[in-house]
Amino acid sequence: MSKVVEKFIKYIKYDTMSDENSMTSPTTPGQMIFAKELVRELEYMGLQDISLDENGYIMATLPSNVDKEVPVIGFIAHMDTSPEVSGAGVNPKFVENYNGEDIILDEENDIILSPKEFPQLRNYVGKTIITTDGRTLLGADDKAGIAEIMAAMEILIENPKIKHGEIRVAFTTDEEIGKIGEYFDVEKFNANIAYTLDGEGIGELKYENFNAASAKITIRGKSVFTGDAKGRMINSLRIGSEIVSMIPSDETPEETEGYEGFYHLEAFTGKVEETKILYLIRDFDDKQFEERIAFIRDIVNKINRKYGERTASVDITEQYRNMKEKIEAVKYIVDIAIEAMKEVNVFPTVEPLRGGTDGARLSHKGLPTPNLFAGGHNFHSKYEFISTYAMEKSVEVVLKIIELFAEL
């Protein structure tokens, strides 16, 4: 088993699911437990300037071994897994020499990973694939990225003949719940440029992403005895359903792709007296993003005009912005990543990221940070999988990027 695969299997055993309802930072204790393990590993490997802050953020340095000045490069990944599917008790399954057919994950519950539904599987015929057992997610998002960064640093330490400038690494918490790089100290990190390893399939390279916000809508109703409810009851659940019906049905994640934005109904909970709705708002275009936010506010205003003031309220929280303009100002870092992929026989695919990474916020904080592939597919689901080949190629790309910067 290669270094990177060995590390990955070790890391996914840690339950680091984040929790958007928690008021702590990190939002779950498992993230700090995992962070402390990573710190121990970094110390054992011999990295320097290792720090772990109260938010679970880790930073460390691999000093330069060249006698000239080259840009300081950062590599970043996040420790938490999505709260959409449990990440506790991950039991990975190895499918060696994959034959291109259906993979039964959980026979009892008829959970099958099929190339008919997930055609990306066909890219890995003949390779070794790691899947879930159909009961949890796998955790490749983003423990694959962590494993790849750690493996690359270990290779550099064990092979001092490989020339490199100063390398900074960082691992963050709570990325999956929108706290993308929220507590990241760019000045302390002290890198000129950086890359996140948080992308999906092999060769993926992304430097533009959604603008993102959340909209928490609260509807206040009035509960009375149902037999005497006429003209008196205000059913917040029904009003909530009315709000949902006002959202364009063709502007949802299920109906959009490419550069199309959407409204995503993330949660709908309540009783007659109070209902809460959570929407995620996404769009690549700044103007259209602002228009989507205004549209949600307008819906709430219409509800209040119809049912009375203070019936509904909305709290809009901006989560992250499109990093495209920040990356294009230093486009050479994308060009170097493309060249690195080509040199290790990986075909680069540059596409928009229909999501966000730590790099989105960091780019707007002054640290240009495009996103490289970590190698996994079907993130946030029981159908998540990753090939050992993709992880090994990711390590090669990281090492080649470092080498190309040292030659500048």
DSSP characters for 16-80?
-B--TT--SSSSSHHHHHHHHHHHHHHHHHT-EEEEE-TT--EEEEE---SSS----EEEEEE--
For the chain, how many residues are written? 408
Q: Is 139 exposed, middle or buried (0-12, 13-18, 19+ CB in 10 A)?
A: buried
Look up residue 104 and give its two tokens. Answer: 């039964």
Q: Of 146, 152, 148, nearest to 172 (Cα)? A: 146
**pLDDT in the model for residue 357:** 86
Type of residue found at 9: I
3-state secondary structure of 131: strand
Confirm whether 285 is a catalytic residue: no
| Bridging pattern class, strands 193-199 and 349-350 | unpaired
The number of C-alpha atoms within 13 Å of 398 and in the hemisphere containing its C-beta is 37
Catalytically annotated residue among 15, 142, 148, 175: 175
179: Cα within 13 Å, side-chain hemisphere: 25
- 275-317, pLDDT tens digit by residue? 999 999 999 999 999 999 999 999 999 999 999 999 999 999 9
Compute the 3-state secondary structure of the chain and give helix, strand, coil in percent, each to the nearest 5.
35, 25, 40
Q: What is the DSSP letter of 146?
A: H
What is the spatial distance between Cα 51 and Cα 59, in angstroms, rounded to a whole number?
5
Q: Which tokens hold the place of 297?
A: 């506010």
Residue 147, token pair as written in the block: 């494993």
For residue 5, the model assigns a pLDDT of: 98
pLDDT at 408: 87
Q: What is the DSSP pairing of strand 73-78 with strand 167-172?
A: parallel
Q: Collapse the DSSP code of 317 into the 3-class scheme (helix H, G, I; strand E, B; otherwise coil) and give the result.
A: strand
Query: CA torsion sign, 375 to 351 to 323 to 69?
Result: positive
Q: What is the DSSP letter of 254?
A: G
Structural domains in the chain, CATH included, are 3-209+322-406 (3.40.630.10), 214-319 (3.30.70.360)
Q: How far apart are CA 71 and CA 401, in angstroms?
A: 12
**Which pLDDT score is estimated for 246?**
98
Q: How far apart are CA 138 and CA 130, in angstroms?
A: 9
Tokens of 193: 């440029």
Q: What is the spatial distance between Cα 197 and Cα 177, in angstroms, rounded to a whole number?
A: 18
Q: Give me the torsion for CA of 198, 324, 342, 380, rounded to 10°.
A: 20
Nearest of 343, 337, 307, 326 to residue 233 by alpha carbon? 307
Closest among 268, 259, 172 to 215, alpha carbons compared:
268
In the DSSP assignment, the letter for residue 203 is: T
Q: Which ranges of the chain have pLDDT less than 70?
A: none
Burial class (CB in 10 A: 0-12, 13-18, 19+), 185: middle
The answer to whether 296 and 258 are in contact (CB under 8 A) is no
Q: What is the pLDDT of residue 382?
A: 97
Q: Which amino acid is at 71?
A: P
The answer to whether 105 and 134 have CB atoms below 8 angstroms apart is yes
Question: pTM score, two decimals?
Answer: 0.89
Q: Which of 80, 148, 176, 208 is catalytic?
A: 80
CA separation for the pair 241, 225 (Å, rounded): 21
Active site residue 80: yes
pLDDT in the model for residue 180 = 85
Angle subtended at Cα 388 by Cα 384 and Cα 394, rounded to the nearest 5 degrees:
95
**According to the model, what pLDDT value does residue 332 have?**
96
Q: How far apart are the C-alpha atoms of 341 and 363, rounded to whole Å? A: 22
Q: Say if residues 250 and 261 touch (Cβ distance below 8 Å).
A: no
